[in-house]
Structure 1
Amino acid sequence: MIEAFNSIDWTSLDLWISLLTLTFMEIVLGIDNIIFISIVAGKLPASEQGRARTIGLMLALVFRILLLLSISWIVSLKDPLFSVVLPWNGEDFGVTGRDLILLGGGLFLIAKSTTEIHHKLEGEEEHTGAIKAPQSLVKVIVQIILVDIVFSFDSILTAVGLVDNVIIMIVAVIISMGIMLAFAKYIADFVNKHPTIKMLALSFLIMIGFMLVLESLHTHVPKGYIYFAMFFSLLVEMLNMRLRKKSEPVQLRDSTLD
């Protein structure tokens, strides 16, 4: 590993372009992870939320480095494990290890996000008649680990198509995780402070889960469309929040006059 690091020509412009591109891609792909970690960690007492976010992102970093060091095994996950005959056309569908991981992760995200939306719409305190006890740190960490594994596989498989050098991939992952650790608290506080943003984030996770299910069925969905939809929806919601904030003083004044 040290010899491989020393053999890299760090003065190469192409190398730095590849590193910056891969780092940016890792940050973009990591947004999904931060959103999920923020929502799940929000179930914990306030004193443990920061710890859960840090542990979650550090675990993601460890998983991605370990997977990068096992790159040949990751690539082999694209090889079919068994075949299933499709009933509608009679063709053989080769199921790979990657398909099973993406399918399981996608269904988990859809189920978890749908449950969270249901709780928000029904109102946990009103429905149960009491304040629901916070989840344990261990339970939250287990959920974070499961999603970390799925997002790590998706991230690494994407990185393999961009850069050949494993050292560059590891450096990009470390830089991107450092940036995400620095901003994770601000993102989490923003999501948890605004209920509509939290609902939007949960909807994003359902969409991402659905995309993972489609990917497991060998139906490629360009991620650019997904992230554009997320950015556009977030922009519209930010405008709505600004409009609501401006209208609050007017409503307060009218109620006072009445």
Structure 2
Amino acid sequence: MESLLALARDPAAWAALATLVAMEVVLGIDNLIFISILTNKLPEAMREKARRLGITLALVMRLGLLATIAWIVALTEPVFTILGKGISWRDIILIAGGAFLVWKATREIHQHVSPEPGHGEEGIVARAAPSFAVAIGQILVLDLVFSIDSIITAVGMTDHVPIMFVAVIAAVTVMLFAAAPLANFINANPTIIMLALAFLIMIGMTLIADGLGHHVPKGYIYAAMAFSTGVEGLNMLARRRRSRRTEPPPA
């Protein structure tokens, strides 16, 4: 208890907490985009429940991993070598998770741009939604990948476990409140879906590169995402203004 009170009185600890919360929120955006896209494919009555369960599982997984800090740190130790490059369990998880993310996003893009012909006026097939269990299973796989990346980042930024716990809980709470608005926005704007899927491919390739020892600074990734989102925002604004000009005047 004394150590916790001393930590609470330390300005450096508060600065570390604020920095780590911001970092965890940014890292959680990737996880949240995937959850939003996947749950939007479920029947509407299940979406909110799936989002909450997926984010809750992310929190449980992160807190569980934090409780085994020594094991997490050991994940970065090489377990075998390929062409002179040491491969750790963290690398294996990142490569596998990145490959899964690239495969899933590519499959979703293919379904959006190549619908089967002859079904409906637009030629779009009403494909069967994935089951609740399948969606949660896929969310769980990516939760594991993003959780390990998140915890290793936390370990690298501070030595104080209580700060890590508070930062993770705060970041996942933000995800919980942002999940529904983000999912609804993505669902209401088809072009945003394609942009989000492209982000997932980029994130997946980044995870694979990181697992192979080629670290890409996160700042570059999020700067590219912010720029692309800004451009798409301008496109949406232009489309909205054009549609207003083409609307017939009220009688």
| Shared fold, TM over 0.5 | yes
Stretches of 4+ moved more than 2 A in 1? 3-9, 123-130, 249-254
Cα distance change, pair 124–48 in 1 and its aligned pair in 2 (3 A): farther
Task: Note the residue ranges of structure 1 that are not aligned, 5 or more in a row.
Answer: 86-91
Aligned match of 1:89 = none
Change (3 A) 1:126 1:5: farther
Name the residue aligned to 1:46.
Answer: 44
Structure 1 distance, partners of 2:117, 2:179, is 28
Structure 2 residue 148 is the aligned partner of structure 1 residue 156: no
Give how far 1:6 is off: 3.8
Would the alpha carbon gap of residues 46 and 5 (structure 1) be closer, same or farther in structure 2, given more than 3 Å must change?
A: farther
Q: Tell me the SS of whatever aligns to 1:134.
A: coil
- Counterpart amino acid of 1:64? R
1:130/1:122 CA distance change after superposition, 3 Å: closer
- Match of residue 147 from structure 1: 142
Which of 83, 92, 97 matches 1:105? 97
Distance apart, 1:124 and its partner CA? 5.8
* Counterpart position of 1:168: 163
Flag the 1:122–1:58 CA change in 2: closer, same or farther, 3 A. Answer: same
Contact 2:97 2:145 in 1 (8 A): yes
Asked if structure 2 preserves the Cα contact closer than 8 Å seen for 1:41 and 1:140, the reply is: yes
Identify the residue that residue 248 of structure 1 maps to in structure 2. Answer: 243
Which stretch of structure 1 is more off in the superposition, 163-172 or 110-119?
A: 163-172
* Aligned-partner SS, 2:213: coil
Task: Report the equivalent of 1:24.
Answer: 22
**Aligned sequence identity (%):** 47
For residue 132 of structure 1, what is the aligned residue in structure 2?
127
Residue 198 of structure 2: aligned partner: 203
**In 2, Cα distance between equivalents of 1:170 and 1:139:** 29
8 Å contact 1:117–1:199 — kept in the other structure?
A: yes
Cα 1:28–1:125 shift into 2, 3 Å: farther
Give the match for residue 184 of structure 2.
189
- Say if 2:199 and 2:225, in contact at 8 Å, map to a contact too: yes
Determine the C-alpha separation between the residues in 2 that align with 1:5 and 1:150: 32
Query: Structure 2 CA distance, aligned partners of 1:110 and 1:76?
Result: 27
CA RMSD of aligned residues (A): 1.9
Amino acid at match of 1:104: A
State the alpha-carbon separation in 2 of the partners of residues 126 and 170 from structure 1. Answer: 53
Query: Alpha-carbon deviation of 1:176?
Result: 1.1
**Equivalent residue for 1:115?**
107
Q: What are the Cα deviations for residues 73-96 of structure 1, in whole angstroms up to 9, with x where unaligned?
A: 1111111111123xxxxxx22111
1:68 to 56, 66, 69: 66
C-alpha contact 1:53 1:184 (8 A) present in aligned 2: yes
